[in-house]
Amino acid sequence: MKSITITIYLACYTNTIVKEMDSDSKIASMSFARVYPLYLAKIERKGRTREELNIIIKWLTGFDTATLESLIEQNVTFEEFFRLATINPNAELITGKVCGIKVEEIKNPLTQKIRYLDKLVDDLAKGKSIEKIIPKP
C-alpha cells in the first residue's frame, strides 16, 4: 500500500506550495536558498526589508551576515542550516500557528525550528516591530 502523502506549505503565507512531502526528511533536504527568496518576497511586498529579515534570522540562528550569505551561496539544506545554527534559547517562547499548526506542539525538532522561522517571518510581514517579534523571557 502506498504511503499517504500530505501537502506541507513550508512557506504557506506566500500562497506558494513549495512541495508535496511525505516525511520530515524531505523538509530537511529542502534548500534554504530556495526558500529564502520566498521569505524575502513576502516581507518586501509588505514594505519590510532584507535587513529586517536577516535580523530575525540572525536572532534565531546566531549566524552573522557573512555566514548567512555564505550558507545561501552554498545552497545548504534546512537540515544543514539548522545543524550549524546556535538556536537562541528564547526560541522556545515562539508560539502561534503557521499554516494552522501550533509551532509549540511540533514534535520533530528540525521541523519545529523551520516553523519557528516561518512564524518570525510571518509576523514581520504582518507589520509587527522587531521588538515585538523576538520573544523575551
**Which domains occur in the chain, in start order?**
6-133 (1.10.8.290)
- Give the pLDDT of residue 23: 52
d(CA 124, CA 122): 5
At residue 42, φ and ψ (nearest 5 deg) are: -60, -50
Cα angle vertex 72, ends 99, 128, to 5°? 45
Residue range 70-96: mean pLDDT, rounded? 96
pLDDT digit string, tens, across residues 122-135: 999 999 999 999 98
Residue range 103-130: mean pLDDT, rounded? 94
**Residue 116, burial from CB neighbour count under 10 angstroms (0-12, 13-18, 19+):** buried
